[in-house]
Amino acid sequence: MSELITLDQVSVEFSKRKVLDNISLTISRGEILTLIGLMVLVNRP
C-alpha cells in the first residue's frame, strides 16, 4: 500500500504546554485509524 499521510518527529505546544512530543506516524491508503485520548476543558478567567 502507498503512504497517504506521514508525520515525522512532530512536537506541538499550546500556551507553553507540550501536547505532542516527537511523534512519528505513517498511515497507508486503506488503513483505518482510531485515536483515543483524554479531552480536558479548562475555564480560565
Give pLDDT, residue 19: 86
What average pLDDT does the segment 29-36 reach?
Answer: 86
pTM above 0.85, yes or no: no
pLDDT band of residue 21 (cuts 50, 70, 90) is very high
* Chain CA centroid to CA 19, Å: 9
Residue 2 clears pLDDT 70, i.e. is over it: yes
pLDDT band of residue 45 (cuts 50, 70, 90) is low
What average pLDDT does the segment 31-44 reach?
Answer: 74
CB 1 within 8 A of CB 28: yes
**Cα gap 37→19, rounded to integer Å:** 11
Helices (H), the chain: none
**Helices vs. strands in the chain: H and E counts, helices first:** 0, 2
**Cα gap 19→16, rounded to integer Å:** 9
